[in-house]
């Protein structure tokens, strides 16, 4: 049986993430225990808060180095994805540094409001087992004011004014800026791919 650990980083979406995983037939373990994370087959880092708040909680729990050292597949969701990068402009926050790049605030403009809230179209950038079966034109649900750049690690991109990374992956580390638990079939497919295919 797969051991799936969900990091209890204090985000408001923890319950909905756990429920989405249960709908896929997996019973995740909500944890702040380093030993549980090291023993897991898959780890998910959700977050609905600010980058500084979640990083502070991870430091208090002594989980920063644990997450940096993981060799099992790790999926960051929403703020959890942003924390995978080196730095966030949100409160000038040093992040986990598992992926190169800096998270910046989305730019407002004519017809472009921040935060970016609602459904938006995903654009494939490169193949990855994480997005198998998610084609061009698929839509996902977003709620965010900060975003990661489109780099070599970007798998799916999106645009809200400027383009940004919607899904990233490098080695065992991956992230989704959108909310899989609120993105219907697309979100369920991404979670299922992560559970079944790894990275």
Helix (H, G, I), strand (E, B) or coil at 69: helix
Buried b / exposed e over 64-81, threshold 16 CB at 10 Å, is bebbeebebbbbbbbbbb
The candidate with the shortest Cα–Cα distance to 159, out of 186, 139, 183, 180, is 139
Tell me the CA distances in angstroms from 131 to 98, 123, 194, one per residue in order. 20, 11, 9
Instruction: Report the phi/psi class of residue 161: left, alpha or beta, with left for phi > 0 and alpha for psi in -120 to 50.
Output: left
What does R_g of the chain's alpha carbons equal in angstroms? 15
Of the residues 87, 116, 181, 196, only one is catalytic, namely 181
Tell me the CA distances in angstroms from 172 to 32, 41, 74, 187, one per residue in order. 20, 11, 6, 19
Is residue 181 annotated as part of the catalytic site, yes or no?
yes
Is residue 110 annotated as part of the catalytic site, yes or no?
no
Of the residues 29, 116, 179, 196, only one is catalytic, namely 179
Is residue 154 annotated as part of the catalytic site, yes or no?
no
Of the residues 78, 95, 154, 158, only one is catalytic, namely 78
Task: List residues with catalytic annotation.
Answer: 78, 179, 181
């Amino acid at each position: 049986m797969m051991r799936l650990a969900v990091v209890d980083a204090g985000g408001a979406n923890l319950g909905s993430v756990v429920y989405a995983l249960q709908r896929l037939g997996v019973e995740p373990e909500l944890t702040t225990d380093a030993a549980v994370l090291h023993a897991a087959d898959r780890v998910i880092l959700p977050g609905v808060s600010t980058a500084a708040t979640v990083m502070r909680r991870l430091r208090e729990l002594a989980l920063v180095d644990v997450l940096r050292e993981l060799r099992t597949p790790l999926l960051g969701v929403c703020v959890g994805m942003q924390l995978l990068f080196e730095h966030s402009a949100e409160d000038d926050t040093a992040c986990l540094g598992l992926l190169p790049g800096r998270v910046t605030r989305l730019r407002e403009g004519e017809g472009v409001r921040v935060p970016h809230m609602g459904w938006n179209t995903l654009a494939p950038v490169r193949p990855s087992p994480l997005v198998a079966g998610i084609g061009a034109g698929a839509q996902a649900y977003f709620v965010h004011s900060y975003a990661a750049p489109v780099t070599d690690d970007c798998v799916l991109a999106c645009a809200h004014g400027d383009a940004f990374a919607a899904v990233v992956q490098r080695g065992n580390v991956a992230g989704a800026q959108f909310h899989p638990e609120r993105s219907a079939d697309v979100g369920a497919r991404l979670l299922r791919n992560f559970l079944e295919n790894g990275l």
